Amino acid sequence: MALLEIEGVSKAFGSLKAVDNVSFEVQAGEIFGIAGPNGSGKSTLFNIITGIPFGPDRGRVRLDGQEIQGRSGNAIAKLGLSRTFQRETSFDGLTVFENALIGATYGGAVKATAEAELRAAEALDFIGIGRAEFGRLAGELSVFDRKCLMLASAIAMRPKILLLDEPASSLTKPEVETSIGLIRKIAAHGITIVLIEHVLTFLMSLSQHLMVLNNGQILARGVPQEVIADPRVVEAYLGSRRPDL
């Protein structure tokens, strides 16, 4: 049984079909990539899976066999589904440690304060955020460090599956390389990853399976090398020639 099953989900804003009858499965332990041009419905798809800020108009979302569509965002998070946003989204007025602690305490449902603190520290260590940074306000961090903090907060929740929305956006090339290493490390830790990115090189280096969306619909899916060779994908990205890798 797949860890995440998406069955015929749709979301419309007025006459615009942002996500149109999309179905796919993500197996436990894999890194599943989702590509597509801007406005293809990638982030909307993440929104309707997580229920934040809205669920699907139609269709089913199952996590570990349990239907989650229609549940509140915080209830879905507690079932083991975590997400990061394209834009660095942290609690700017809280310290780095408090950001991770709140993930461990509420998302990870850890009752004991000492255990939650230990889990928060472990998550920050795992991502590579030094102890000297624990007391800094999240709002004072660089873009890259805030993206790392988002990952640490998500890891502190011990999720079954982590949805990453364009983790490489606004990063320098060395930072992108570090991010690739971090995502591999998280996956090796047993957390299933669904990754949105419109930079195909980033996705190709990480994904075991790749799905391309265009105009809210699935354009192609399968093994990454085959998907990017699909003429429909080439046309969606470039109009006429093969994506430059």
Q: Which residues of this chain interact with other proteins, rule CB under 8 A?
A: 50-53, 72-74, 77-78, 82-83, 85, 89-94, 98, 101-103, 105-109, 113, 139, 153-154, 157
CA–CA separation, 226 and 40 (whole Å): 20
CB of 244 to other proteins, least distance (A): 35
Expressed in angstroms, the distance from the first to the final Cα of the chain is 34
Beta bridge partners of 192: 161
CA–CA separation, 146 and 239 (whole Å): 35
CB of 202 to other proteins, least distance (A): 22
Question: Is the Cβ of residue 78 or residue 184 nearer to other proteins in the bound state?
Answer: 78
Do you find a cis peptide bond into 167, omega within 30 degrees of 0?
Answer: no
Cα–chain center distance at 6: 15
CB of 68 to other proteins, least distance (A): 13
Alpha helices in 40-142 (DSSP H): 42-50, 73-78, 96-102, 113-127
CB of 177 to other proteins, least distance (A): 26
CB 205 within 8 A of CB 180: yes
Question: Is the Cβ of residue 54 or residue 222 nearer to other proteins in the bound state?
Answer: 54
Question: Is the Cβ of residue 159 or residue 224 nearer to other proteins in the bound state?
Answer: 159
Question: Is the Cβ of residue 3 or residue 100 nearer to other proteins in the bound state?
Answer: 100
Beta bridge partners of 26: 4
Amino acid at 11: K
Question: Is the Cβ of residue 98 or residue 197 nearer to other proteins in the bound state?
Answer: 98
Token pair 């890259």: residue:
144
CB of 203 to other proteins, least distance (A): 23
